[in-house]
Amino acid sequence: MKHVINATVENQPAVLSRIVGLFSGRGYNIETLNVGPCADPRFSRMTITVPGDEHVLEQVTKQLNKLVDVVKVVDLTKEKHIARELLLVETGAPKLKRAEVMGIASLFGAEVVGVRENSLTLQYVGREDQVDDFLRLLRPYTILNLSRSGTLAVSRGEQ
């Protein structure tokens, strides 16, 4: 099972290094990791996707909470949250196939952000499973370049 963890951390040098070291030192894998500033510039938000069972999650959470620079750790996996991933993909699209590729992009609500003679670069934002489905449909057109952001997530507050 994948766990999505949000950690609010102090925006200080070497915090990222300490957190990554915590995971690698214990043999835990980080599937995706995103870090960016919060509304308050003193803090950054980390979204970490970790594969593993409940025991792995419990250990990771306990260890993160022990770090001085970590302000708050939240497991979003079982909470209401919104998670998205950004995909930039350059796919082969010679003139005869361009309409097909653009049709797939249109079905998913993807945006064409670059055009070359024999390729299109597309931008898509969606859930991880949607990104996977989109890529599966593009594979026959030859993927020339690909970059995925990994999961970004925020909790959905109570109304």
Task: Delineate the domains of the chain, giving CATH numbers in brackets.
Answer: 2-79 (3.30.70.260), 82-155 (3.30.70.1150)
For residues 55 and 22, give the distance between their C-alpha atoms in angstroms, rounded to a whole number.
16
Q: What is the mean pLDDT of each run of 10 residues along the chain (159 residues)?
A: 92 90 87 92 94 87 90 91 96 94 97 96 97 97 96 82
What is the pLDDT at residue 68? 87
Q: How far is CA 75 from CA 5, 39, 50, 72, 128, in A?
A: 5, 20, 10, 10, 18
Which helix (H) or strand (E) is 95 found in, with range?
Answer: helix 95-108
* Tokens (6 digits) for 137: 């449909």
